[in-house]
Structure 1
């Protein structure tokens, strides 16, 4: 008897923790036992088995494409104990695709003008169309142009009465437009037109600053009469007919046609009291979900954002759940969304590209916010503000991690989007991600609520590509104390300083990142952003901007080809700016008081330092030429003996930015190497590159005579390279007199003015053909030599 008892004690843990393996195949059967030879047919059937199984469980999906008719939903019934986890993964190195799309069986016949048509038997949604895995274009005007700066091509007359007169029945079409101030975008459904060919529109709620659509940057799609070029399609709901204009190299008989039918693929649906715990999805490809731009309605406090609370993977009430080593591509809306209560969840090792909206969002419950306001112009009277610091409930994401992910080509449909979006959440770690080719910020913090984030070792570039007035990193801090009237806001902070710290209760740390924005700032702390610690960042083009806010410490950062932009500070901001390297004099706007300390910084020339000291800052700062280790290889550590070390600057690592896993490193685009501006070295005869044009200071009688100028002033255009950005607004022999509302007397003025461009749209005054002309220019990439 003793022997039996001992045997039971010894073997009981082994029985408890034996790993169970279940198998699913596209060729399986749910009546099977879930073994390798007799796999289940559905993930749902495997989950039903898991609920009856103790110990760790792995569901292996065998190779193939799993087409979901509805999302796979994990509920608290699927929750696992910490040592009895569930992992859903692909089998070995075989490709496993989870798709929200259906494959179409089509019989094509010629229609006219290169267009073919096919009858659709099933009752399907047609929101996007993929042919051989490639996204096609809804019939649109103007036609898609991959080289266009905004929205794939725009036209001011896209919704004109003259254009609409060509359309028999435009109901069901869409209007997409930039925000009037280029702060994101708007989208509308066309519900019809009247006898005067004026369109009836429904929508325009996708931005929290509702100023209406841009007069020029707009396009229409899903209009039958606009089906006029290759790769365009149109679905007629009434006749259930799909029309398609195939390119010459596609065989319609063998091509694979697919269209998404659902918006979400996986959902974790729990609560704080009853969460979904300890489930990992690993090694899968997730693809083909519906666009959600018309469901993007909910305002996010006083940021510029509205949100749709969903994504291909939706976490809502999850604890210790992970998405690892997955590929998320060709998704119509958000890729991954953490909604309200989530704790200790991780997204790691993922490749996320070709996404309609944002890649990864963390968005809490506004009911967890004390004294919330939802639109920029709304405010709460100081005597009515709840003075309790921090959140009211726990219904928000916290202590989650975004690590080692490659994110690019997001925001294909929705421009007010980000690589990583943080709103009403706390202590999110965003580490070692590579983010590029996005229409707005790479990483965005919507408001200070509730701080504690650590954003480090990220590589962020090619940002703000389809918007303006923004940065590679962007934040707002329009927290509960905020007032839209600056004078009232100043007085609130002056007399109630503690109010500005009630929501951002933990500091937000931004360190060891490499950022480059060619259409705005590298780091942009906008309206009211407070309680930031920013250090050891390499900024390669746009510099650092701090608008009004409190308790920011900015130190030991390097700003290549740009400088520090302090704007409209509070008198008692308590800000610190020290031990930083700038490439030009500061560019302040409406600053009278310079915070707690602005000193011990490094300037490129004595004039810039002198200008700072004349404003009462930088008593102990220095100037001098900076000798970097290897700028061509993006190594901007300073060589031994640099004057920067005398004021406390310390070198930091230049080889730790971005993704770390070898597979993602190979795939990642490389950060563009900037050509260094040496502003203090320019001589009267120096010729430099400016946006692809060769320019120099106007200095001689001969130059004056050749241009017809009244005096030797301005910057002369010596040569313009065809196809360069400058060619869009400059010609050889032009003289640049003003740029971005700043008078241009020499190269230094021109470079400084281009550094202070806050958006993508600015004014340039040129002397050409014996007269001054003014031009509005949209600025793109601008490397200077």
Structure 2
């Protein structure tokens, strides 16, 4: 056997040493664990304890010579009271940041605190003092599940007897509709409009006139179609947050004046056996650059983001659409329900195999100036507002004018949501959607399952006319959307509006939109005002309460090779203030339940379609 010379062996050893040294120079690892210590060095053997300390270490590092920094998160819950902020003080140019779960672990970043001191009041009702730092809150979680804020009725809703003279602030109720609240001033009135809701405090409940009076205008000011009886003469409503409504297991009531919280549990359970949590943090993660210095190349893998509070400003939420709401401070002054995770002026930000859940506002927002960022194989569920938001609306100003006219290059561009599971959004603000996209370009929403929503599955566009905006070349493809529009109306599996040249709705599978509440239709796809130059091709739509496809004040669009299954004599396509000749159709299959071959045709269509039920 040939033996290597000592010189060659020495040369090889030096080479390996230098290679390892070079690798160490290019990649740095920081380890974090809930059982660690922030005085540790952050190595595998001596991990840090908090993510706040980890970001401080990142900001203090001279990372210019490093190709990549990996922050490893071990199993456990990382409780935070303030958002993790990644900005130019933490992230230097060039270096890639990765926040990754250690293999086999499930780290959770939580903005909640636990409530542990409870007193038994009998009949399964327990009471606890509210810690001073919590103040007023809107959510409580028991065993990881959202508890119900005490409401009446427990299911469904009541009906207004008669709308008041001003059509905005008061109405009469039916005698016996609800038990008289102990503290009416702490009760929240929840009123349903066609595609949004209002949450507003009660000013007075008159036992003599059987009248409920709200603390301010119900519905967005300056928009007359929010008059209480505009859509229905006897709109739906219910009442929330009073001790008199605390009659079902896992309901809770907050007496903010006395700083006490009441919780009803099964009689065989005690709070000491459960994890009872209240959100404290108002945001969980902010990734923020600037237009001149965008932040880039950050990824999050295998991490859960959970529990984030949002208290309604001025205690009144007058929903307009898709979690835009009237601030009630002026005429047509709008705001947006904030998200727990937000990116602005950010490039190449990636969330993979992450979970966003139990959040009090909306979920995750790829916001202003976000480019080429992705949400991949993630789970978004149990969100009070929108699940995912991309881009922005019309309101931001640049040099005194609308940003989309003055600086259209600032639009969110090339972002993706793919292979993700999105469900149970809009748990508080029913006008929310699974994925909302504003004036965005080259957005791709592909192969997502979106379901169990009170309103629309996907909403894209934010201009109610064919006026040119930066919105273009968006693709919504191969998504499975079902059991949406469960509480509201005038939306659909996909809702689209405005001029979006080059955009496509292709190969989507939409079904089970069987609830049609309110006056307006609920559809498989609803292409609203100004929709123009859009291709609708090879979609499968069935089991829809109304028409599978609806156009309203739409312009020229192209509808090809779709399977449109209808209910009885319901038309496959509805044209509201739209010229039918402007909708260019080719080879669409329109099949009614009256057709004896309906079931066979649906079975055949399902077998051919590229997106099948998960």
> Is the TM-score greater than 0.5?
yes
Which of 504, 510, 519 is the aligned partner of 2:505? 510
Aligned counterparts of 1:136 and 1:461: Cα–Cα separation in 2: 25
The structural deviation recorded for 1:301 is 12
Structure 1 residues 205 and 316: alpha-carbon distance in aligned structure 2, compared to 1, 3 A threshold: farther
Q: What's 2:4 paired with?
A: none
Residues 531-584 of structure 1: CA distance to partner in whole angstroms, max 9, x if unpaired?
Answer: 211111111234222233222011111112355324145569743111111115
- Report 1:76-95 matches (<5 A): 76-81=88-93, 84-95=95-106
Aligned counterparts of 1:66 and 1:160: Cα–Cα separation in 2: 49
Q: What's 2:489 paired with?
A: 468
Aligned counterparts of 1:411 and 1:19: Cα–Cα separation in 2: 41
The structural deviation recorded for 1:397 is 1.5
Root mean square deviation, CA, Å: 3.8
Q: Which has the higher strand share?
A: 2
Contact 1:454 1:509 in 2 (8 A): yes
Contact 1:80 1:278 in 2 (8 A): no
Contact 1:309 1:339 in 2 (8 A): no
Contact 1:29 1:41 in 2 (8 A): yes
Whose radius of gyration is greater, 1 or 2?
1
SS at match of 2:590: coil
Aligned counterparts of 1:405 and 1:337: Cα–Cα separation in 2: 15
Contact 2:435 2:458 in 1 (8 A): yes
Contact 2:218 2:318 in 1 (8 A): no
Contact 1:337 1:362 in 2 (8 A): yes
* 1:31 pairs with 2:26: no
Aligned counterparts of 1:411 and 1:526: Cα–Cα separation in 2: 21
- Report 1:107-506 matches (<5 A): 107-110=118-121, 112-125=122-135, 126-143=137-154, 145=155, 148=156, 153-154=157-158, 156=160, 166-179=180-193, 182-190=194-202, 198-202=212-216, 204=218, 210-212=226-228, 215-291=234-310, 294=313, 308=336, 310-364=338-392, 366=394, 392-447=407-462, 449=469, 450-477=471-498, 504=500, 506=501
Residue segments in structure 1 that go unaligned for 5+ positions in a row: 374-385, 478-502, 586-602, 606-624, 638-653, 658-669, 672-785
The structural deviation recorded for 1:193 is 6.4
The structural deviation recorded for 1:357 is 1.1
Q: What's 1:757 paired with?
A: none
Contact 2:118 2:126 in 1 (8 A): no
Q: What's 1:50 paired with?
A: 58
Aligned counterparts of 1:240 and 1:300: Cα–Cα separation in 2: 33
The structural deviation recorded for 1:400 is 0.4
Contact 1:301 1:366 in 2 (8 A): no
Residues 399-453 of structure 1: CA distance to partner in whole angstroms, max 9, x if unpaired?
Answer: 1001110011111111111111111222211011011111111111243541221
Structure 1 residues 46 and 538: alpha-carbon distance in aligned structure 2, compared to 1, 3 A threshold: same
The structural deviation recorded for 1:20 is 1.1
Structure 1 residues 134 and 444: alpha-carbon distance in aligned structure 2, compared to 1, 3 A threshold: same
How many equivalent residue pairs? Answer: 552
* 1:550 pairs with 2:562: no
The structural deviation recorded for 1:191 is 5.5
* 1:635 pairs with 2:606: yes
The structural deviation recorded for 1:469 is 2.6
Aligned counterparts of 2:556 and 2:602: Cα–Cα separation in 1: 33
Q: Taking structure 2 as the reference length, what is the TM-score of the superposition?
A: 0.80
Contact 1:56 1:86 in 2 (8 A): yes
Contact 1:293 1:413 in 2 (8 A): no
SS at match of 2:52: helix
Structure 1 residues 430 and 635: alpha-carbon distance in aligned structure 2, compared to 1, 3 A threshold: same
Aligned counterparts of 2:514 and 2:212: Cα–Cα separation in 1: 38
Aligned counterparts of 1:90 and 1:348: Cα–Cα separation in 2: 15
Aligned counterparts of 1:302 and 1:187: Cα–Cα separation in 2: 12
Aligned counterparts of 2:395 and 2:488: Cα–Cα separation in 1: 31
User: Greater RCO between the two (CA within 8 Å, min separation 6)?
Assistant: 2
Q: What's 2:539 paired with?
A: 537
Aligned counterparts of 1:626 and 1:257: Cα–Cα separation in 2: 50
SS at match of 2:184: coil
Residue segments in structure 2 that go unaligned for 5+ positions in a row: 1-10, 162-169, 327-333, 464-468, 516-521
| Mean CA deviation greater in 285-294 or 308-317 | 285-294
Which of 19, 24, 40 is the aligned partner of 2:48? 40
The structural deviation recorded for 1:13 is 9.8
Structure 1 residues 195 and 460: alpha-carbon distance in aligned structure 2, compared to 1, 3 A threshold: closer
Aligned counterparts of 1:18 and 1:272: Cα–Cα separation in 2: 28
Q: Taking structure 1 as the reference length, what is the TM-score of the superposition?
A: 0.64
Contact 1:452 1:508 in 2 (8 A): yes
Structure 1 residues 572 and 103: alpha-carbon distance in aligned structure 2, compared to 1, 3 A threshold: closer
The structural deviation recorded for 1:460 is 0.7
SS at match of 2:489: coil
